[in-house]
Amino acid sequence: MKKYLFLTVIVLACCSAGCAGTQKKELLFNGKDLSNWNFVVDGNSVPASEVYSVRDGAILIQGEPFGYMYTKKKYGDCTLELEWRWVGEATNSGIFLLIADPSNPFPNGIECQLHAGDAGDFVLLGGSNLLEYKQPDGEERPKFPVIRKRNASNEKPAGEWNRAKILVKDGQITVHINDQLQNVATNPVKEGYIGLQSEGKQIEFRNVTVTRE
């Protein structure tokens, strides 16, 4: 009897641990509204509602004017997962990570590029830095330095959903696009906001979640 009781306790403990792990996952988008987000529009030229909205359970970003939406909370060590697709033409957008300063129209932070054909590149925004970025001797630093992805593009055609999985651990950012490793680099900043960019034409996002480490 004691043996069975011991086994029962172990099983319950494992189940509780599993449930606790599940509870760490946070919905950044609830499928209904954008209440978890703040908004930036280039020059405040139009109301944010004209750029960022919800349609059929997905975030719809118009792409013009430039700008981005960003979380109301900062995140450190975590796994960010989301899906995106182009509504029509595959153009340009990005996922912003470890935003230190949400300035207008570009923050200080790291962009995981979603530009068609370049998904997985890192772009250094607003004077941010990655330890792996090497400035060529004698050359002026570009406005938006880039660390290229490691593998050939594996994005899906416009209209089909793509998946990004991004692990942030002690400032190191590891990006998988459609389950393929594309980039790894390290930011001196260990915590910041998460953002989704408006740049180009219409793009949709869904299933946006964060799992804290």
Both tokens of 114, joined, read 């979603």
Q: What is the pTM of this model?
A: 0.89
pLDDT band at 7 (very low <50, low <70, confident <90, very high): very low
> Residue 93: is its pLDDT beyond 50?
yes
For the ranges 5-14, 44-53, 62-71, 85-94, the lowest mean pLDDT is seen at: 5-14
pLDDT value, residue 24:
85
pLDDT value, residue 165:
98
The stretch 84-112 carries a mean pLDDT of: 97
SS (H, E, C) the chain: CHHHHHHHHHHHHHHHHHHHHHHCEEECCCCCCCCCEEEEEHHHCCCHHHCEEEECCEEEECCCCCEEEEECCCECCEEEEEEEEECCCCCCCEEEEEEEECCCCCCEEEEEECCCCCCCCEEEECCCCCCCCCCCCCCCCCCCCEECCCCCCCCCCCCCCEEEEEEEECCEEEEEECCEEEEEEECCCCCEEEEEEECCCCEEEEEEEEEEC
> Residue 21: is its pLDDT beyond 80?
no
- Reported as a single tens digit per residue, the pLDDT across 131-178 is 999 988 899 999 999 999 999 999 999 999 999 999 999 999 999 999
Residues 6+ apart with CB under 8 A from 6: none
pLDDT value, residue 213:
77
Longest dimension (CA), the chain: 77
> Residue 62: is its pLDDT beyond 70?
yes
Share of the chain above pLDDT 90, in %: 86
CA separation for the pair 63, 67 (Å, rounded): 8
> Residue 19: is its pLDDT beyond 80?
no
> Residue 6: is its pLDDT beyond 80?
no
pLDDT value, residue 4:
47
- Reported as a single tens digit per residue, the pLDDT across 179-204 is 999 999 999 999 999 999 999 999 99
